Structure 1
Amino acid sequence: MSAPTDIVLDRLPARLSGIVEHWAQDAPQAVALSQDGVTLSYSQLNEASRQAALWLRDYGVRPGDRLMVVAENCIAQLVLLFAAARMDAWLVNVNARLSAREVDAIAQHSQPRVVLYTGHISAEAMAHAERGGAELHEVAGAGLVQVGPLHTDCEPEPVHASGNEQVAALIYTTGTTGQPKGVMLTHRNLLFIAATSSHVRGLTPADRAYGVLPVTHVFGLASVALGTLYAGATLYLAARYSPSAVVRAIQHDELTILQGVPAMYARLLEYDYGDWDPSNSSLRFIYAGGSPLDPTLKHETERLFGRTLHNGYGMTETSPTISQTRIDAPRTDTSVGSVIPGIEIRIVDDQGVTVQRGEPGELWVRGPNVMKGYYHDDKLTALTVNPEGWLNTGDIVRQEADGALFLIGRSKELIIRSGFNVYPIEVEAALNAHPAVVQSAVVGRDGTDGNEEVIAFVELDPAQDAPAAQALHEWLHPRLSPYKRPSQIVIMQAMPAAATGKILKGQLKQLAQQLRKEALHPEP
């Protein structure tokens, strides 16, 4: 497999299944997947996906159909991923921990030919299967899987010979309200990120990576799963995250690669390691992505593991990676790194004019990682990607002279208070620096006279003496300008979060509005 150079697009396989086909030929006995003592070599994974594709075809799945898989991370899920790629079906990966309403909304929007459930690994998947009238089948290559009825009224999408056009996965974004938003990612989109992620991390077939980030999310799918397998390395799958399971994998499986979201590392900082020193391991690369990384968490994690905590940035619509810090250029700040090879960026003001280096602006991206569009929503696609191929991320960034990007916040999350711009990430960083704060989230709330209030939600470390909200206000007083300080700090037992660990700010914003309503109109 080639590294992502200027000619990487010419050397990528036509389909995702080309990844396992390549290694089944070059290193057939090398272990591709491992989970709970069960392993599949690249040869076995290739054959399993071939058999599963044949089974699906016989069951009635056609090229261009949507194949919906309700699952948590497991070997069968990866087998079905490559099986769908072989037969040009669109994989609709859905996290089993979503509610019945959310799963139904995705099914209604995507109109799958059939829905499969991995109930053997997930009680939630089993519950969805029972509700969906699925029956247990021995799916060749994938094992025992609950299979729903064939939907005879759905129509297949056109099939394209080119991986540039053929959709591989339909991924639904988290934290949205109203109708679900399906992001169409092509084979080229995902293969480009798999190759780039593999190259930037310096992966080799000798690496052992931990796969706990949900494969239903683009980070877990493209960067972790496909990036690991693209290099011919071994992926250790975990259905759910727990600090003890991560530690056990680091120790016994001698992991070399650990990727997660910041919330995952926050939990690892709380874990009791006993006599074992976490810096004494085989890990050579640890990485945080999926949400902003604050300086305190980065520093404490690096102190614990004795290694640089790398950082990056992306979004579902860019498959997902846009930038990443480099192994050969570790950073002590919270930059999200430099732009990955092969893509272009522009940083513009609200008029679309490019800003000067060092000035904040909205980030536009163009390249082979940009989505094909939103499924059944040409209007939203046109609003997001212009005719020249530039995707407006909606994120505010600045770029330093050395090319490093710094994420300031989302334009839609910008809080305007007394005429000043407040970016939540700055307030969150100040809160997270408090030793008792595990994580925080800041949102804006409608105030009086059209002014906005800054509202902070905080999750505290149960192992420490919990400070009162007033103590946190006092902590922020010397650290933030008056207009940036929260009007209210709300202590939370746990933040509402997606399966990836990403905090669902939409729910917190609703809660902030509800708290204001209750304060203005208290019950008698």
Structure 2
Amino acid sequence: MDIERSILEVFTDATAKFADRPAFTCLGQTLTVGDIDRLSAQFTSYLQNHTNLKPGDRIAVQLPNVLQYPVAVFGALRAGLVVVNTNPLYTQREIKHQLNDSGAKALVVLANIADTAAAVVAETSVEQVIVSEIADLHPPLKRVLINTVAKHVKKMVPNFHFANQVNFRDAMAKGAKAPHQDVARTADDLAVLQYTGGTTGVAKGAMLTNRNLVANMEQVREALGESMKEGEEYYVAPLPLYHIYAFTIHCMCLFTTGNHSLLIPNPRDIPGFVKTLKGIRFTGFCGLNTLFNGLMRDPGFADLDFSKLHTTCSGGMALTRATAEKWEQVTGCVVTEGYGMTETSPVVCFNPAEAVQLGTVGVAVPATEVKVIDENGNDLPNNTPGELCVRGPQVMKGYWERPEATAETIDSEGWLKTGDMAVIQDDGYIKIVDRKKDMIIVSGFNVYPNEIEDIVSAHPKVTEAAAVGIPDERSGEAVKLFVVKADASLTADEVIAYCRENMTAYKVPRNIEFREDLPKTNVGKILRRELRDEELKKTEAVTA
């Protein structure tokens, strides 16, 4: 395992070896590895010759799963820039925080969602905005057709304006007229700022170096073993590439082995998703529990061609036994569940395809150490629940400009505290038993109560609030919010409307309950655990 190479070196090796192999397909258009090499070089040239960006500067990329994503990301990395992956679903407040916190000097954004960023970008450090339309890398006639329908027929493109705007196609045309210069980076150099709530709930950037990402790429490839053959795989990619799980699988592991990814821009459109898969003999599928369930509820899913499917990876949220068993029944493919986090680039452990243990997240990937500790930091023996800690080359450098938060998470010996409670079995398999912190996972996305409570508490009619996760059949968990009114006229609809204005949809509480007061410790800290326990008892009473 060579983890001292930079992403650029890995990229260059892949483009030399697999230039003719298909790399990414989206909306009927395929780009080969060679196409990605050529187009990303054009984007690099534009950044170097037509912006003030210098190696080490940050560039935010706010794109869904479209062909422009790998072109922009590899182009930025070739210019020596640091990629700030930005969720297209972010609200104005969330985008503004991330752009300012990272100090991003440029933003690449899809026109369909550009109005949100346009409302706040003047209040950030961004100097250049590159706007792309959904089919910008399609052939001329198809590009015009798709973009015109999206804008004028389906009305998918809102009105927006950036003072410092350039169109993606214009940027690429300018880049094609001048040579680029690949910027060498070391294994220790920062490559990606991946934002996360970490284990404390405050949005911060995990600093992922070239070594972190290349190491995890190698670890995942070794963990998959013979099931990932060079130049022969065709994986379905419904999970967003801006999420580190999908980024590592599709942009690192698959691309560098000459393999093919089918990008799904909108996996929430299940009928459209299933229609896209018709006639395709895909070999791999990366998803999570809620997505598997959604697909299997579609009447056309069972009729797809699963004859070549040999690998289904699950991560991002807990995989239920019922879902895993039904998926295997329908597709003939065993689901292999893994575990990871943004701070570990992300994969920590994975179920070997030939020895899956349902209910576990598998064994540690190569070159990775795991242990569990008690509240005092003492190591615990196997089969004893404790906080899971991880050490390995995939563990982040730290949190961007947050040395105290870094020190709280990574100790002097390099052990990262995950904040998750786990048991390590005698055979090395790991079982996640609980979350130490109060994080809520909604459809695989981390939701942090502190953030929700801070936002809601700013409402003039709210005295205080507490957010907890409650079981939900569709999303795994949903947010329930307990509110103490400052004004008796406050309604649940008013609270939800306020949340929708200030946070991404998956964070918006599903249920609102008003209370006269909230349970607290003797120093005044709200006891979310008591509220969760109350909800659990209600659930148990209903199901009993």
The answer to whether the superposition gives a TM-score over 0.5 is yes
Instruction: State the Cα deviation string for residues 70-123 of structure 1 (Å, max 9, x = none).
Output: 21111111111111211211001112111111111111111111112122xxx1
> Structure 1 residue 335 and structure 2 residue 360: aligned?
yes
The total of aligned residue pairs comes to 428
Q: Report what 2:10 is aligned to.
A: 19
- For the residues of structure 1 that align with 2:518 and 2:421, how far apart are their CA atoms? 33
The Cα shift of 1:19 comes to 3.4
| CA–CA separation in structure 2 for the residues paired with 1:211 and 1:410 | 28
Q: What SS is found at the alignment partner of 2:261?
A: strand
Closer/same/farther in 2, CA of residues 307 and 282 from structure 1, 3 Å limit: same
- Of 2, 7, 18, 1:8 maps to 2
Partner of 1:365: 390
| 1:313-352 correspondence to structure 2 within 5 Å | 313-331=339-357, 333-352=358-377
Which residue among 346, 368, 380 is the counterpart of 1:355? Answer: 380
Give the structure 2 partner of residue 47 of structure 1: 38
SS in 2 for 1:363: strand
Q: 1:474 maps to what in 2? A: none
- How many Å separate the matches in 2 of 1:303 and 1:454? 34
Structure 1 residue 45 displacement after superposition: 0.8
Change (3 A) 1:278 1:401: farther
Supply the distance in 1 between the matched residues of 2:132 and 2:321 (Cα, whole angstroms). 49
- Kindly report the root-mean-square deviation, in angstroms, between the aligned alpha carbons of the 2 structures: 3.8
2:356 aligned partner, one-letter code? P
User: TM-score, length-normalised on structure 2?
Assistant: 0.70
Measure how far apart 1:127 and its partner are.
4.8
Conserved 8 A contact 1:290-1:502: no
Name the CA distance, whole Å, in 1 between partners of 2:264 and 2:114: 15
Task: Quote the Cα distance in structure 2 between the aligned partners of 1:170 and 1:116.
Answer: 15
Aligned with residue 257 of structure 1, among 284, 300, 304: 284
Q: Cα distance, 1:68 vs. partner?
A: 1.1
Q: Is the 8 A contact 1:193 1:223 kept in 2?
A: no
User: What displacement does 1:245 show?
Assistant: 3.8
Task: Confirm or deny: 8 A CA contact 1:96 1:128 kept in the other structure.
Answer: no
2:525 corresponding residue in structure 1: none
The answer as to 2:164 corresponding to 1:149 is yes
| 8 Å Cα contact 1:17/1:83 also seen in 2 | no
Counterpart contact for 1:324–1:337, Cα < 8 Å = yes
Deviation readout 1:455-508 (Å, 9 max, x if unpaired): 7343469xxxxxxxxxxxxxxxxxxxxxxxxxxxxxxxxxx99xxx9965xx65
Which of 207, 213, 216 is residue 184 of structure 1 equivalent to? Answer: 207
CA shift in 2, pair 1:176/1:389, >3 Å: closer
Which position in structure 1 is the counterpart of 2:296?
A: 269
1:84 pairs with 2:76: yes
Say which is worse superposed, 279-288 or 242-251, in terms of deviation. 242-251
Change (3 A) 1:243 1:283: farther
Q: Distance in 1 between matches of 2:45 and 2:474?
A: 51
Who is 2:219 aligned against? 196
1:304, distance to aligned residue in structure 2 (A):
2.0
Q: Indicate whether 1:164 and 2:158 are aligned.
A: no
1: CA distance, partners of 2:115 / 2:328? 39
Match of 1:458 in 2: 472
1:249 and 1:60 map into 2 onto residues whose CA distance is: 40
Query: Are positions 1:112 and 2:101 aligned together?
Result: no
TM-score, normalising length: structure 1: 0.73
SS of corresponding position for 1:328: helix
Secondary structure of the 1:322 match is: strand
Residue matched to 1:375: 400
Query: 1:85, 1:168 within 8 Å by CA — same for their partners in 2?
Result: yes
Alpha carbons 1:35, 1:237 under 8 Å: kept: yes
- Aligned AA for 1:128? A
Render the CA deviation track for 1:44-84: whole Å, top value 9, x for unaligned. Answer: 21121112111101122110100112211111111111112
* Equivalent residue, structure 1, for 2:114: 125
What is the alpha-carbon distance in structure 1 between the residues aligned to residue 474 and residue 243 of structure 2? Answer: 27
Preserved CA contact (<8 Å) 1:114 1:148: no
Q: Which residue of 1 aligns with 2:62?
A: 70
Report what 1:155 is aligned to: none
Q: Does 1:296 align with 2:310?
A: no
Partner SS state of residue 360, structure 2 = coil
Contact 2:385 2:421 in 1 (8 A): yes
Distance 1:191 1:453 in 2: 37
Q: Is 1:31 matched up with 2:19?
A: no
Does the 8 A contact of 1:250 with 1:282 survive in 2? no
Distance 1:130 1:76, change over 3 A: farther
Superposed displacement of residue 373, structure 1: 0.7
- Aligned-pair identity (%): 25
Question: Aligned-pair distance for 1:282?
Answer: 2.1
One-letter code aligned to 1:360: P
Q: Judge conservation of contact 2:109–2:130 (CA < 8 Å) in 1.
A: no
Secondary structure at the counterpart of residue 172 of structure 1: strand
The alignment partner of 2:250 has SS state of helix
**Unaligned segments of structure 2, at least 5 residues:** 123-127, 138-142, 148-160, 166-182, 450-465, 476-498, 520-544
Q: Does the 8 A contact of 2:58 with 2:102 survive in 1?
A: yes
Please state how far the C-alpha of 1:17 moved relative to its aligned partner: 3.0
Q: 1:56 to 1:460 in 2, by over 3 A?
A: closer
Deviation by residue 1:211-269 (Cα, 9 ceiling, x = unmatched): 22111111111123322112210111121203234433443232111001211012112
Matches within 5 A, 1:199-218: 199-201=222-224, 202-204=227-229, 205-218=231-244
CA distance in 2, matches of 1:215, 1:194: 15
- Measured in 2, the distance between the counterparts of 1:103 and 1:455 equals 24
SS at 1:88 equivalent: coil
Q: Which residue of 1 aligns with 2:537?
A: none
1:384-443 C-alpha deviation (Å, 9 max, x unpaired)? 0111111111111101111110011211149xxxxxxxxx99xx9xxxxxxxxxxxx9x9
Structure 1 175/238 Cα, relative in aligned 2: closer, same or farther at 3 Å?
farther
Does the CA-based 8 Å contact 2:284-2:310 persist in structure 1? yes
Aligned to 2:222, the other structure's residue is in SS state helix
Deviation at 1:176, TM superposition (A): 9.0
| Compared CA separation, residues 296 and 20, structure 1 to 2 (3 A) | same
Shift of residue 328, structure 1, vs aligned partner:
2.0
Tell me, in whole angstroms, the C-alpha distance in 2 between the residues paired with 1:224 and 1:136: 24
Alpha-carbon distance in 1 for matches of 2:104, 2:77: 15
Aligned partners of 2:388 and 2:253: how far apart in 1? 25
Tell me the secondary structure at the aligned position of residue 248 of structure 1. Answer: helix
Determine if contact 1:97/1:125 at 8 Å carries over to the other structure: no
What is the CA deviation profile of residues 169-190 of structure 1, one whole-angstrom value per residue up to 9, with x for unaligned ones? 1011169998531111011111
Does structure 2 conserve the Cα–Cα contact (< 8 Å) formed by 1:218 and 1:316? yes
